[in-house]
Amino acid sequence: MQVVLNGNQEMLERNLSLSEFVELKGLNPETIIVEYNGEIVKKTEWSAIVLKDDDCLEVLNFVGGG
């Protein structure tokens, strides 16, 4: 299965929920926002979303500084 993550093709060996995908990629859920097929998704909904072939994800990190 193939998804697009921040404009790059990613191959997945099995179906994953969005929360599983975030964990697999080693992302910190406390510091990111995920856009799924054009819509920002709340963290509380991540486990209910199962990724499908050709889904498009954009992951944005919060960066602090001054």
Question: Tell me, what CATH number does 39's domain have?
Answer: 3.10.20.30
pTM equals 0.88
**65/10: higher pLDDT:** 10
pLDDT digits (tens, 9 = 90+) for 32-63: 999 999 999 999 999 999 999 999 999 998 77
Assess if residue 18 is contained within a domain.
yes
Q: Are strands 2-5 and 56-61 parallel, antiparallel or unpaired?
A: parallel
Q: For the chain, what is the domain count?
A: 1
45 is a domain residue: yes
Taking the CB of residue 13, how many other CB atoms lie within 10 A of it? 6
In the predicted structure, residue 66 carries a pLDDT above the cut 70 = no
Please tell me the distance from the alpha carbon of residue 25 to that of residue 34, in angstroms, as a whole number.
13
